[in-house]
Amino acid sequence: MPVELLEMSECSPSLTREPLDAEQAAGVARVFKALGDPVRLRILSIVASRAGGEVCVCDITGSFELSQPTISHHLKVLKEVGLLTSERRASWVYYRLVPETLGELSALLDVPATV
């Protein structure tokens, strides 16, 4: 559970500021790798675009022609890198977005308009 994705001395992390060191790069790459799968991206967008912010696993499996364990695996990956959280209520497990993680990545990729 990474508290902070980036531990930069400055407050505005960006790829354009200065080269990432190996450790920083490894941490960020973990998250991008999780985003580097079409199914996981779609899962994330399903959760992100859901009005209440919550999605039940059973709502996701119906959107894919993949086995339920496969979806479960992808959810686990997204959770491990801090993009999703889960909560069990009765028989169902609900997943929510972690907007802070997405925000950090967005800021990291946010390059000045004209270089």
Partner DNA sequence: CCTTCGTATAGACGCTCGTCGAATTAGGTG
Partner DNA sequence: CACCTAATTCGACGAGCGTCTATACGAAGG
How far apart are CB 69 and DNA at their closest, in Å?
A: 3
Find, among 87, 112, 99, 80, the residue nearest to 15 by Cα. 112
User: Which DSSP letter does residue 18 get?
Assistant: S
User: Which DSSP letter does residue 62 get?
Assistant: T
Which of 4-12, 16-24, 67-75, 85-93 is the region at the interface with a second copy (rule: CB under 8 A)?
A: 16-24
Distance CA 19, CA 88 (A): 41
Paired sense of beta strands 92-97 and 54-56, if any: antiparallel
Which of 6-14, 17-25, 46-54, 65-73 is the region at the interface with DNA (rule: CB under 7 A)?
A: 65-73
Do 28 and 108 form a contact (C-beta atoms < 8 A)?
A: yes
Residues that bind a second copy (CB under 8 A): 14-22, 25-26, 28-30, 32-42, 44-46, 48-49, 53, 63, 97, 99, 102-103, 105-115
Residues that bind DNA (CB under 7 A): 33, 36-37, 39-40, 56-58, 61, 65-77, 86, 88, 90-93
